[in-house]
Structure formats: structure tokens, C-alpha cells
A and B are shown apart, each in its own frame.
Chain A
Amino acid sequence: QKEVEQNSGPLSVPEGAIASLNCTYSDRGSQSFFWYRQYSGKSPELIMSIYSNGDKEDGRFTAQLNKASQYVSLLIRDSQPSDSATYLCAVNTGGFKTIFGAGTRLFVKA
């Protein structure tokens, strides 16, 4: 069983729409959750971190965490073509072990 699961996509949304990216994880004791964006041929860059249940907003991005359901999501409002990338969900399962999902490819159509 995969420890961090994401739909590989591609997820295609029109420009200006809301993109919704989802992630589930298996370790119920996980405490730290991250979303990274990775453009093709580039390294991952952190977008959001979230540690407690509920929503966390930063500009056009909102991270949502539900520990009871072992579910974390990322919403991108007013999606732009420049948001087209692979989004990686990462979960810290304790100590120094951060597990990454395989990523969801997002394509924003102009």
C-alpha cells in the first residue's frame, strides 16, 4: 500500500477556474503536510505547509487538512497557465521521514 497517494492526472482546468488537488496518506500519526510545485525539468518548490485540521490560505492557494479522514488537499483559485506543473504532496511521518506522493500533473488551459 502506498503511503501517500495522489491522482497522477493530468488534471485539466480552464484559466480562471478552481483547481482541486487531493492527497491521502496512510500513517495516522503524521503531523506535518506540505504541497510542492515542480515545473518540468526543475526542482520542487514549497507552496504550502499545514499542520492542523482545517484550512490555511495563502494568496490564491488554500490547503485543507482532515486528519480523521487522512486527507489533505490544495485548492488553486483563479488558475493561470503558469500554474501548469506537477504538484507533490508530502507527509512527515515522524522524525526525519518525509514521504512524497508521485504527484498530480495540472494543466491550465488559456
Chain B
Amino acid sequence: ETGVTQTPRHLVMGMTNKKSLKCEQHLGHNAMYWYKQSAKKPLELMFVYSLEERVENNSVPSRFSPECPNSSHLFLHLHTLQPEDSALYLCASSQDGGQGIDSEAFFGQGTRLTVV
């Protein structure tokens, strides 16, 4: 069991649905991330929050909406997704030393999302 917990582990949703992915970290870190991992593609950074402020938005479509209410929790709200959005969505956390990311990221187990 890692210090970063994601729920749900699996999600099937229709293109008109609205759902949310949840991430919680128990490591005392102050930076949290959403990554997308598609088959045979590199991990793609989607969003970064440092000290609960969004510091990176990697040209992600607006149908993905992140929320970081505190340094331990991160959400990814999903609406009107497309089948090509089907992927493994990974949450990660790290300790930001104030100069961006030098420290290692710890990943949650991921949410396997299928859009039908």
C-alpha cells in the first residue's frame, strides 16, 4: 500500500456523464500532480498543484477540471469525455523545496478510466 491513495481504481463512464477522481496523500508532501498514461505512450503531465495553488496546466482540455482543497487531497472532475480519454490516470505527490521539483514523486495506484 502506497502513501498515495486513489479512488476509484476502475471507472467506466459514458460521454455525457460527470464523474470525479479522488487522490489523497499521507506523506506530508506539499505538491500534487495528475498524470495521464495511455497505452504505449509516455506519462503525460496534466496538472500540478504546489501549496494548493495550480502551478502547471499542461494544455489539458477543459473537460478535465482539477481541484485541490488542501495539500493532502486532489480531485479531477470529468465531464463530456471522449473515448480517446480512456487511459490510466495517476496521481502523484512530492515535497517541493521551493524551487520546483527536485524531489522524487510518489505515485498512487491509478484509476483505469474507460469512456464508452
Contact = CB atoms under 8 A, between A and B. Distances in A.
Interface of B: 2, 31, 33, 40-43, 45, 48, 50, 55-56, 90, 96, 100-102, 104-110
Interface residues of A, number: 25
Interface stretch (A39-47, A62-70, A74-82): A39-47
B42 A96 contact: no
Contact of B110 (A43, A94, A96): A43
Given A51-B102, A103-B42, A43 B109 contact: yes
Residue in A45, A46, A96, A97 with the greatest tally of chain B CB atoms within 10 Å: A96
A4 B109 contact: no
A26 interface: no
Interface of A: 4, 8, 31-32, 34, 42-46, 49, 51, 88, 90, 92, 94-103
A21 B4 CA distance: 27
A51 B104 CA distance: 11
A98 B2 contact: no
| Nearest 6 A/B pairs, CB to CB | A100-B43, A95-B100, A43-B107, A96-B48, A102-B42, A100-B42
A44 B55 contact: no
A101 B42 CA distance: 5
